[in-house]
Amino acid sequence: GAVVSQHPSRVICKSGTSVKIECRSLDFQATTMFWYRQFPKQSLMLMATSNEGSKATYEQGVEKDKFLINHASLTLSTLTVTSAHPEDSSFYICSARDRDQPQHFGDGTRLSIL
Amino acid sequence: AQSVTQPDIHITVSEGASLELRCNYSYGATPYLFWYVQSPGQGLQLLLKYFSGDTLVQGIKGFEAEFKRSQSSFNLRKPSVHWSDAAEYFCAVAAVDSGAGSYQLTFGKGTKLSVIP
């Protein structure tokens, strides 16, 4: 079946650091990738949608300069949390989809900012 | 805009008992409906989906769900729960952008399932 690999699975870093999270579709072409954020005991909140070769579309309230998304190829999207602060600590999950097929999710990245 | 309600935050069942997780949605047209399962610290795994056709959908791990338009529901069921089914379950609805053939998911808040041995 379709596999999405997300790396790293856990990051702990100091406040002010920029952190990059990678999301790769291993056995299919991801025409669209999504980035979600999950707060404790909450559901997933969509942050942004990116189509390969295009700029990401951000949801209302998500700072595009804070959360940089790049979807340069059909198998890779990256989320960079710039100048991260403790309030950015969260569980980030990516998903990928080939055209109108269901989304497949990565295992998530737990980001902890000290 | 579409929305999803999962009325039960936490459900506890005994191993071997039957299970039903409730999901109600709000959407102006025929929705795409999904159930995902999330184990602790993991991403989401698709259990099953409904796009059209037969309203009773079979999924992986012995799960099924039934789309009831009149009740705006898409409840998830399993006849006999196993201890490994303990996880969090998310119902999701997709609004279809018919022009592009694409869609975005809106998730419910999830139902945590605990299984008593």
In this predicted structure, the answer to whether residue B59 has a pLDDT above a threshold of 70 is: yes
Q: Are A55 and A70 spatial neighbours (Cβ–Cβ below 8 Å)?
A: no
All residues of chain B having their beta carbon less than 8 Å from the beta carbon of residue A6 are 43
In this predicted structure, the answer to whether residue B40 has a pLDDT above a threshold of 90 is: no
Q: What is the mean pLDDT of residues B97-101?
A: 50
| pLDDT tens, chain A, 114 aa long | 678 999 998 999 999 999 999 999 999 999 989 999 987 767 778 899 888 888 899 988 999 999 999 988 999 999 999 999 999 999 899 999 888 777 788 888 989 999
In this predicted structure, the answer to whether residue B99 has a pLDDT above a threshold of 50 is: no
Which of B3, B23, B107 would you mutate first to test chain A, the one with the most A CBs within 10 A? Answer: B107
- Is B49 in the A-facing interface, judged by CB distances under 8 Å? yes
Q: Are B89 and B40 spatial neighbours (Cβ–Cβ below 8 Å)?
A: no
Q: How do A4-7 and A10-13 pair as beta strands? A: unpaired
